[in-house]
Structure 1
């Protein structure tokens, strides 16, 4: 018989994270485009981010037919939170030309799946690309990253919002994430964790988890 599940955070009822999830307002609007392969992943940080932000939306799919309309939401300037050669610091973009708040578009999936989302939705790749500040250390210790300083989806969103909306802080979004990571490590046991994940690992910035 399947275990009872919280309908909100989708965790098993005995491990519900809802008490740790804040409700934070932001001038920045966050739009997460999640690859279907991430939906049932135990470490679905994108869902936690949307639950904790009042001005956020999560869409699941590979091809988003309504994307051109979504990117033209009145009162916002859209940008893509994704690392790459043409990406600029998010604060640099936020300070350019306009006082309009940002629409932060975030692809969520593995590196391969996130790049597939960009390929299947050319309007995404055409956006200005932005990244969080350099030199950040991920709290995500359960997945390997291809580069130093890579962040999980929720971490990248938090760091971007902390920059753009300073002095307001969004670190409270990470409380359920850290609890989730701790629970996973506890469940596997310290010896197994140290054998498989002894060195702190991270995720591709805004593209995994």
Structure 2
């Protein structure tokens, strides 16, 4: 028999994170496009981001037939957070036309699934691409990052908002993420964590 889960944060009721989810305002609008494979992921940090940001929307799917309408937000300048050779540093892009707030489109999935989202939704290919600074490291201490600078979706959103809306900070969004990690470490035991993760520097 499965354990009852919170309908909001989707965590087991005895590990509900809702009390830690801040309600944060941002000038930037977030459109998070989540691949269906991420919905039942143990972390699902994109959902935590959408719950914590008042000006955010989370949409699940592979093909988004109404994407044009979602991107046509009056008064917003859309861009795609996707690091590649064509991407402009986010700080540089945000510094242009500062009177117009950004609509930041964030694909949520593995790199392969994120690329599939772009392939299935050609309109995404037409958006200016922006990237985060190099040298960032994830707070997720239980898994080795697939590549240098790889962050969870929530961490990437926090870094992006810190850049776009400086000096405002968005660290409050990370509270449930940190609690989730601490809970996983506690469940496996501190000794096991140190042996399998901390001592290897992962």
The aligned counterpart of 2:136 is 136
* Residue 149 (structure 1) aligns with: 149
**Residue in structure 1 matched with residue 181 of structure 2 by the alignment:** 181
Q: Which residue does the alignment assign to 1:66?
A: 66
Aligned 8 A contact 2:138 2:145 in 1 = no
The 10-residue stretch of structure 1 (147-156 or 89-98) with the greater mean CA deviation from structure 2: 89-98
**Could you say which residue in structure 1 is the equivalent of 2:4?**
4
Partner of 2:37: 37
Cα root mean square deviation, aligned:
1.5
Written as runs of structure 1 = structure 2, the 5 A alignment for 1:162-181 is: 162-181=162-181
**Per-residue CA shift, 1:190-209, capped at 9, x if unaligned?**
344345434455xxxxxxxx
Equivalent position of 1:15 in the other structure: 15
Cα shift at 1:89: 1.4
In the alignment, structure 1 segments of 5+ residues that lack a partner are 202-209
Q: Tell me the equivalent position of 1:207.
A: none
Residue matched to 2:116: 116
How many angstroms apart in 2 are the aligned matches of 1:34 and 1:148? Answer: 22
| 8 Å contact kept, 1:140–1:200 | no
Distance 1:183 1:140 in 2: 12
Residue pair 1:32, 1:106 contacting (<8 A) in 2 also:
yes
Deviations 1:78-129 (A, max 9, x none): 1011111111211210112352100000000111111110111111122111
Whether 1:82 aligns to 2:58 is no
Question: Does the 8 Å CA contact 1:81/1:131 hold for their aligned counterparts?
Answer: yes
Residues in 1 aligned to 2:157 and 2:179: alpha-carbon distance in whole angstroms: 18
Write the distance in 1 (CA, Å) between the matches of 2:171 and 2:148.
Answer: 21
Question: How many aligned positions are there?
Answer: 201
CA–CA distance in structure 2, aligned partners of residues 105 and 144 of structure 1: 26
CA distance in 2, matches of 1:78, 1:113: 21
Of residues 44-53 and 145-154 in structure 1, the stretch that sits farther from structure 2 once superposed is 145-154
Q: How does 1:39-58 map to 2 (within 5 A)?
A: 39-58=39-58
Mapped partners of 2:120, 2:189: distance in 1: 40
Distance in 1, Cα, partners of 2:16 & 2:139: 20
Cα distance in structure 1, aligned partners of 2:39 and 2:76: 27
